[in-house]
Amino acid sequence: MNLHSIRIGRALAPVLGLVLLAGCAADFQDSEAVAAAARAKAMQNWKLALDFEGNALEYPLERLDIFLFDSDDPERWPETFELSGDGVTLVGILPVGAQVGYGEALENLVGKTVAIGTYGGDPHDEQHSSIRLAGIRVPVAGGSITFRKVTGDWSGSEGDKTVWGTLRVEVQGADGLRELEGAFAAHVVSWG
pLDDT (tens digit per residue) in 41-77: 989 999 999 988 888 999 999 999 999 987 777 677 8
Taking CB atoms within 8 Å and a gap of at least 24, the contacts of 73-82 are 74/99, 80/120, 80/121, 80/122, 80/123, 81/114, 81/121, 82/120, 82/121, 82/122, 82/127
Please say if the pLDDT value at position 128 is more than 80. yes
Q: List residues bridging with 186 in a β-sheet.
A: 163
Q: Determine the pLDDT at residue 192.
A: 85
Please say if the pLDDT value at position 21 is more than 90. no
Max alpha carbon distance in the chain (Å)? Answer: 95
Q: What residue segments make up the domains of the chain, in order of their start?
A: 1-44, 46-191
Q: Determine the pLDDT at residue 176.
A: 86
What is the rounded distance in angstroms from the CA atom of residue 42 to the CA atom of residue 162? 7
What is the rounded distance in angstroms from the CA atom of residue 62 to the CA atom of residue 83? 8
Are residues 159 and 35 in contact, defined by beta-carbon separation less than 8 angstroms?
yes
Please give the share of the chain, as a percent, with pLDDT higher than 70: 84
**Distance of alpha carbon 15 from the chain centroid:** 43
Q: Determine the pLDDT at residue 5.
A: 52
Q: Determine the pLDDT at residue 8.
A: 54
Please say if the pLDDT value at position 16 is more than 80. no
What's the predicted TM-score (pTM) here?
0.81
